[in-house]
Amino acid sequence: MKKVNTTGKSAANEAAAIKRRDFFRILGGGILVFFSPWDALGIMALPADQARTLTKDYNAFVHFAADGSVTCYTGKIEMGQGIINSLPPMMADELNVAIEKVKLVMGDTELCPYDAGTWGSLTTRSFGPAMRAALAEARGVMVELASEKLKVPVSDLKVENGTIISLKDPQKKITYGELAQGKRIERYLTVKPPVEDYRDFTYVGKPRFRTDSVEKVTGKALYAGDLKLPGMLFARILRPPSHGATLKSVNTAPAEKIAGVKVVRDGDMVAVVSENKDLADEAVAKIEAEYTFSEMPVNDKTIFDWMLKADTSSSVSNTAGNIEEGRKESDVVFEHEYHDVYLAHAPMETHTALAVFEGEKLTVWAATQSPFGLQDGLAQGLGMQRDNIRVIAPFVGGGFGGKSAYQQGIEAARLAKVTGKPVMVVWSREEEFFYDTFHSAAVVKVNSGMDDNGLIKFWDYHVWMAGTRGAEQIYEVPNRKTTSYSRGRNAPPVHPFATGPWRAPNNNTNTFARECQIDIMAARAGIDPLDFRLRNLKNQHVIDCLKAAADRFGYTPGRLPSGRGIGIACGFDAGTWQATIAEISVDRNSGKITVKRLVCAQDMGLCVNPQGALIQMEGCLMMGMGYALSEEVLFEGGDIKTKGFDTYEIPKFSWTPEIECIILDRKDQAPQGGGEPAIIAVGAVIANALFDATGARVFRVPLTPSRVLEALKKS
Amino acid sequence: MAKSITFTLNGKKTRAEIDPDQTLLWVLRNHFGLTGTKFGCGNGFCGACTVLIDDEAVRSCSVPFGDVQGKKVVTIEGLAVNGRLHPLQQAFVDNDALQCGYCTPGMILTALALLKKNPAPTRAQIIEGMDDNLCRCGAHPRIIKAIDEAAKKMKGGK
């Protein structure tokens, strides 16, 4: 199953193939074990222009130091999602070492071997098992070394708490630290994940509180913007008023008049720099610029028709049976259209980067989910050799997918080059709301049918611009088809601005459409919506989630609309199944929805850190209320109207419902994603709860008071 | 034009020759190196830059530095005494009341000002007092619980 290269030619060849860096100079000796975990998902997710020879590079390595500590170096980053807490238990369990001895170094392209990026809830489910397998091998290397030293056969040795002990003579023992003393050993491993055995875990599966919280409550945790270098300049860049604007003429004289400010240009970029951040802010506002405009004739109201009329190419998936047959077998058919809007990521930390050149060598500290992606972007953008670029991601102040994009890092580097000084770029909130890679707006049309027993007979699903994540049919439907429409090859752009992944990318769209449609069918059938789902489901994972959520909620059956304001939905994301139940109240005069309670149950396989996973679920539910109730990017052509927290409203303390999260005990199953799944059903449960409360149906998110009032009038 | 400003910063008498029109936020971060005070929006909507001036929670992004003349300024770095966390900080740790941590300093200082005014707030009063501080990770339920716990401990004279 596994091959351990501890000596011999192939290891030497592989070692030569990677760009060798003098790790020992940095680490001061010890034992280094490199490993190349199988990370098929990571490789597939890699954009073509960032492709690297992964088979010859090593994805991570572990360093045994003389003080007994064991450090794993990985290109993953910590942005609040808590992998800083979920990786160490896996390390400690595999190495049989106390968790206090385990350390992580993350997100530094110089120290950490290549990693595509931190997204897709992949760290625990994909990287984790590979890392565990590799660490098991690393432990094997240590046992071999101990065997040589103690002159005891490997088969007669065991590892306990970082100490390798002879089974026959417990006096013969040596610690990891002692083995590493004065050593400079490198070993290279190629491994693939073994079968998990949860029964041997000491740390995995036990709740573990955050290890970064003391730093974060004392203000000591450093984010990219907290760094400072001698002579550092703050930069502000002149921005167009709209994505359709092109700079025609510029007068920088008013900015240049401000003492302590310098205007710099690099190609089409006009910027001001100053050691004083406030002066840079003041100066950039004084630049007079004229633009020509070429706006796409679309706005937040017309976008849906625009998408339906766009030049698209389609792909068909998830097919079974025959839609026309299903239609014939149906006693009732349904046809509805659902809309989703553009959303901003709006992390509290805006895109920030500090760049400095030392000779040919460029170092960039950036708020990024993809340090290696930024490294590639810099190589391309500045025409540099990748080896001369180091990117470091310190603590990241929220990402949610938005910090997969790294424009600010390239801007800082260009300005550092032009000025010859360290340059800090901190996007303003307006810039953040302008250059964000928004969650895409989308249209979904669902045509479905059922028989008189409430059994779904066909499901003809069409989705525009959202893709198919979450569009998999989780219900038992004999005749089904999913058609996904995206921008056609060589077709003009559909979006007036950049779009990109937003927490559980587009699963929110598809789960909203599917679960609203299911509710509409349940209502028509006169069957309780939980019962209707259970009748049409065979997947035990989601059935268990629904039952667990209903049990915790204290759910009692009722026909829609029951007047109670209870909504149900379920779904699947990142390998994890979930069911959510909401209870809301509706102010019929204002149309305002208040969410009183959210209960969510999820089956995520083996849960590595139940405390961290619960917090992610709570965070998903809170954040999800935003897209469900208020968040929407308003625009006219490329002109974004919602460039502040006053116009783009995110969830607040006063929205906080009673939140209860349940993680099903599935220790014997492979770990799945935890950072995204709980967000996917929030839109649907609230829309379904609104219908249950009032009989009014809103076919789009967000369910703003005015849309609720409009629906109430129709109902 | 630089001007001499005298004030108390985290309990220490401090004098600085700085342009009084600069924002308190960037003076704290860039001149005093107190980077626990975060930039979030620059116009007072998010609360990440909250500090205490004479026990009142204020948005340091919207306060000219000159305004602190003769006043007491407390930043997140000034809360722990001899490495011992303030009860509010400890309650945030005990409840895992944070994720990315970027809004946390502003949350804690807003809560501190709230508790100074109302040492025994109800849940509704905590929510009302915190409502203008934004958190994107969704740590709200845990922050409410942490503040409630800290209030109860602090009343015990700690």
DSSP string, A181-248: TT-EEEEEEE-------GGG-SSTTS----SSHHHHHTT---BGGG---TT-EEEEE---SSTTEEEE
* Residue B99 in this model has a pLDDT that exceeds 60: yes
My answer on whether B92 and B37 are in the same domain is no
* Number of domains, chain B: 2
Q: Is A487 helix (H, G, I), strand (E, B) or coil?
A: strand
Q: How many CB atoms lie within 10 A of CB A108?
A: 18
Chain A hits for B149, CB-CB cut-off 8 Å, are: none
pLDDT of A482 reads 98
My answer on whether B71 and B16 are in the same domain is yes
Range of B124's domain? 87-155
CB–CB contact A623 B23 (8 Å): no
Count of A–B CB contacts within 8 Å? 172
Q: Is A107 on the interface with B (CB under 8 A)?
A: no
Nearest neighbour of A646 by CB, restricted to B45, B76, B140: B45
| Distance in angstroms (rounded) separating the CA atoms of residues A218 and A454 | 57
Chunked in runs of 10, what are the mean pLDDT values of chain A (715 residues)? 30 34 64 61 42 43 89 86 86 91 90 77 74 81 92 94 95 94 75 64 89 96 97 98 97 97 96 98 98 97 98 96 98 98 98 97 96 95 94 96 96 98 98 98 98 98 96 96 95 96 96 98 98 98 98 97 98 97 98 98 94 96 98 98 98 98 93 94 98 98 98 94
pLDDT of A50 reads 44
pLDDT of A199 reads 80
Taking a C-beta distance cutoff of 8 angstroms, is the pair A92, A203 a contact?
yes
Domain positions in chain A are 3-214, 224-293+351-426, 303-342+438-714
My answer on whether B22 and B42 are in the same domain is yes
Q: How many CB atoms lie within 10 A of CB A498?
A: 14
| Distance in angstroms (rounded) separating the CA atoms of residues A121 and A182 | 39
Using CA atoms, how far residue A47 sits from A42, A51, A89, A373, B151, in Å, is 10, 6, 31, 9, 50
CB–CB contact A348 B102 (8 Å): yes
pLDDT of A131 reads 77
* Half-sphere exposure of residue B26: CA atoms within 13 angstroms, side-chain side: 20
Q: Residue B156: which pLDDT band, with cuts at 50, 70 and 90?
A: low
Q: Give φ, ψ of A572 to 5 degrees.
A: -145, 130
**Residue that finishes a domain, picked among B43, B78, B113:** B78
pLDDT tens figures, B61-91: 999 999 999 999 999 999 999 889 999 999 9
Interface of A with B in 144-183 (CB under 8 A): none
**Residue that finishes a domain, picked among B78, B101, B136:** B78
pLDDT of A132 reads 80
| Domains A3-214 and A224-293+351-426 belong to one CATH topology | yes
Nearest neighbour of A645 by CB, restricted to B46, B104, B108: B46
CATH number of A224-293+351-426: 3.30.365.10
Nearest neighbour of A218 by CB, restricted to B19, B40, B80: B80
Nearest neighbour of B92 by CB, restricted to A79, A213, A644: A213
Least Cα separation, residue A639 to chain B (angstroms) = 20
As a residue count, chain A comes to: 715
Chain A hits for B142, CB-CB cut-off 8 Å, are: 615, 618
Q: Give the containing element (helix H, strand E) for A433.
A: helix A429-435
CATH number of A3-214: 3.30.365.10
My answer on whether B93 and B70 are in the same domain is no
- CATH code, domain with B106: 1.10.150.120
Q: How many CB atoms lie within 10 A of CB A73?
A: 23
pLDDT of A120 reads 72
CB–CB contact B137 A621 (8 Å): no
- CATH code, domain with B62: 3.10.20.30
Q: Give φ, ψ of A159 to 5 degrees.
A: -115, 130
Taking a C-beta distance cutoff of 8 angstroms, is the pair A288, A255 a contact?
no
pLDDT of A375 reads 96
Taking a C-beta distance cutoff of 8 angstroms, is the pair A670, A605 a contact?
yes
**Residue that finishes a domain, picked among B78, B96, B126:** B78
Q: Is A210 on the interface with B (CB under 8 A)?
A: yes
Chain A hits for B30, CB-CB cut-off 8 Å, are: 228, 276-277
My answer on whether B8 and B53 are in the same domain is yes
pTM: 0.93
Chain A hits for B79, CB-CB cut-off 8 Å, are: 218
Least Cα separation, residue A293 to chain B (angstroms) = 28
Strand order in the sheet with A332-340: A312-320, A479-487, A456-464, A442-450, A332-340
In CATH terms, the fold of domain A303-342+438-714 is: Aldehyde Oxidoreductase; domain 4 (3.30.365)
My answer on whether B102 and B139 are in the same domain is yes
pLDDT of A133 reads 77
Taking a C-beta distance cutoff of 8 angstroms, is the pair A521, A534 a contact?
no
CB–CB contact A349 B38 (8 Å): yes
Q: Residue B158: which pLDDT band, with cuts at 50, 70 and 90?
A: very low
CB–CB contact B136 A223 (8 Å): no
